[in-house]
Chain A
Amino acid sequence: MIADTVQTALPADQGLPQRFRRTRLARNGSLAGWAFAAPALVVYLAFLVYPALTSLSISFTSWNGISPTKTWVGLQNYVGLIHDSVVHTAARNNLIWALVTIIVPMSLGLALAMAVNTRVYLRSAIRTVLYMPAVLPLVGVGTIWGWLYQPAGVINDLLADIGLGSVTHAWLGDSTTAIWAVTVPAIWVRTGFPMLLYLAALQGIPAEYYEAARTDGASAWQRFRHITFPSLRATHYIVLALSLIETAKVFDLVYAMTDGGPGNSTQVMGTWMYFNVFQSYNFGYGTAIAVVITLVAVIVGIPYVRSQARQLV
């Protein structure tokens, strides 16, 4: 504190440039700050930022991953993406994935949170069960559901039991139903998170609001529409932002359940990238796919990241 005051009192441009720099750092007192931030920053720059930028440069080359030289091909890989019908399928699947695994878990999560938030017994046990799928490894989830979806499996058995034998189906084996079938376990996994956040937010709404509305004769729907829903605005925003960020990362469930098949019909950008790189050894092309999906994810995420950074410091 005292040293700070003394140094601030000195004329800034006095002395040699080197000494000046040292004084400025000392005056700002940011030496300790940087020392604390440096280790994490170095790891982050070396193993996230640097690889991401390296991927960008690899995406402008043709490379089999082994040869010491990469051939510069400019935008050829990106032009290739436009003409690749599997990329079209993957982009469509990513979009389906985003819509289904955001809208359904959010709605279902809100409904469950409201149900759990009424006067019930065993609230925390019920909450624990509903959130449970979210902690399981996605490969495990995929393996369970892959088995449930077997042609002679549990889901078809149950459908037959309730008289819907006519809709039984090779859910994962048919290219028209496979991607939709894979979104079901994703909903199972992803509903718990919005439920937890909505539940926490619902518990923060003052009970007086509802009492006042009831006194004024507001119906259940009006209370939901004019009190509950608007009070959850911040939560809607957080859940939506985090879900959008998460949706671009889809890989595990598709890889474990369908391996992109049948006939590439369930490929998403992540899996198609993986197949190009590690099965066809088209490192440049596969990396271009990763660059595209990453750019989309980062751009979509920027408003959320910026608002978080502003709020925090």
Chain B
Amino acid sequence: MTAIPVPRTDYVTRAAARRRRNALAATAVLIVIAVFWASPVLILVGTAVKTAADFNAHGATSWPKSLTFANFRAAWDVGQFGTSFVNSGLVTLVKVPIGVFLAALMSYSLAKLKINLRRSILFLMLLGLTVPIFIAVVPIFTMLRQVGLIDNIWGLLPPYLAFGLPFEVLILTAFFKRIPQEVIESARIDGASELKIFVRIVLPLSLPVLITVAILDAVATWNELVMALVLLSSPGHRTVPLSLLNFQGQFTTNFPALCAGILIALLPILVAYGFLQRWIVSGLTAGAVKG
């Protein structure tokens, strides 16, 4: 760990060995905890690759006797997960960039530009963090019915944008606040317009935090249930949570297929989490600890 050379006396090596032993023991304990913590997902995987006969004979927690992918094929055919991946993917891909951009514009204004009622606007926006989405479902439902956007995935866009803004503004305002004023002033003296400063200087400077906010927002959008449940009805328009909800009623006895279907539905988010977890972890801690 340390770069400072230490005279290797017997005492030091023994202390180092003891520290190493303690660290190994602590690691072993934590691995057991982590495996226990992940066990619902591990049992799910174990069951999904089992044959029905194996499952009926040995239950969920035994080691699979042989591997089969038949359950995945059965679940895929019934669950229509492909359609729901496309729907959730489209909504997320459109919603997240627009939401983050709108939030970034506002946050930059609140953090760096002259604006009256600065604190009142921020207070009003952050109050949205506390508002449960079910307060809006009835009016949103009637509003969208008037314009014929019921049972249309694009009807999700307006409420998702509005309910995503408070969190995005919280994180982005805190970040923009820390950009040195001189960077912006010097661009202003060079005659750059406010929009140009924002697009050419502020956004590139903020790329890491923008990506973090986008990832967290994408996870929330992908997983949202209440609004989708109220607005969408036909099978072809289901998002991932809706297809899961529908799917769990289809396999009430064939548990290996049920597990395979759940696993299929969770796979995109699990894979994304595997790749992006560093951004998620750093974003959550930075946003909450700073703010």
Number of interface residues, chain A, beta carbon within 8 A: 103
A283 to B139, CA, bound (A): 10
Interface residues of B (CB under 8 A from A): 19, 22-24, 26-27, 29-31, 33-34, 37-38, 40-41, 43-44, 59-61, 102-103, 105-106, 108-111, 113-116, 118-119, 121-143, 158-159, 161-163, 165-166, 169-170, 173-174, 177, 188-189, 194, 198, 219, 222-223, 225-226, 229-230, 240-242, 244-245, 247-248, 255, 258-259, 262, 265-266, 269-270, 273-274, 277, 280-281, 284-285, 288-289, 291
What is the interface of chain B mostly: helix, strand, loop, or mixed?
A: helix
Residue A89 is within 8 A (CB to CB) of chain B in the complex:
no
- Neighbouring A residues of B245 by C-beta, 8 Å: 139, 143, 255-256
Q: Given A118-B26, A137-B222, A301-B129, does the pair A47, B240 have CB atoms closer than 8 Å?
A: no
| Most chain A CB within a 10 A radius of its CB, from B44, B134, B137 | B134
**Contact between A119 and B131 (Cβ–Cβ < 8 Å)?**
no
**Contact between A115 and B162 (Cβ–Cβ < 8 Å)?**
no
**Contact between A148 and B138 (Cβ–Cβ < 8 Å)?**
no
A193 to B24, CA, bound (A): 26
A29 to B232, CA, bound (A): 45
- Neighbouring A residues of B130 by C-beta, 8 Å: 245, 248, 297-298, 300-302, 304-305
**Contact between A52 and B115 (Cβ–Cβ < 8 Å)?**
no
**Contact between B126 and A287 (Cβ–Cβ < 8 Å)?**
no
**Contact between B127 and A298 (Cβ–Cβ < 8 Å)?**
yes
Q: Which of A43, A196, A310 contacts B162 (CB 8 A)?
A: A43
**Contact between B139 and A130 (Cβ–Cβ < 8 Å)?**
no
Q: Name which residue of chain A comes closest to B116, CB basis.
A: A30
Residue A221 is within 8 A (CB to CB) of chain B in the complex:
no
**Contact between B269 and A196 (Cβ–Cβ < 8 Å)?**
no
Q: Which of B109, B188, B229, B265 contacts A33 (CB 8 A)?
A: B109
**Contact between B281 and A140 (Cβ–Cβ < 8 Å)?**
no
| Most chain B CB within a 10 A radius of its CB, from A147, A197, A304 | A147
Query: What is the number of contacts between chain A and chain B, taking CB atoms within 8 Å?
Result: 317
Interface residues of A (CB under 8 A from B): 1, 28-30, 32-34, 36-37, 39-41, 43-44, 46-52, 54-55, 58, 65, 112, 115-116, 118-122, 125-133, 135-140, 143-148, 153-154, 157-158, 188, 193, 196-197, 199-201, 234-235, 238-239, 242, 245, 248-249, 251-252, 255-256, 270, 273-274, 277-278, 283, 286-287, 290-291, 293-294, 297-298, 300-302, 304-306, 308-313
| Most chain B CB within a 10 A radius of its CB, from A47, A157, A294 | A47
Q: Which of A128, A235, A293 contacts B277 (CB 8 A)?
A: A128
| Most chain B CB within a 10 A radius of its CB, from A200, A277, A297, A313 | A313
The 6 nearest A-B residue pairs measured at CB: A33-B115, A301-B130, A47-B162, A36-B109, A51-B139, A40-B106
- Neighbouring B residues of A43 by C-beta, 8 Å: 102, 158, 161-162, 165
- Neighbouring B residues of A133 by C-beta, 8 Å: 37
Q: Name which residue of chain B comes closest to A286, CB basis.
A: B138
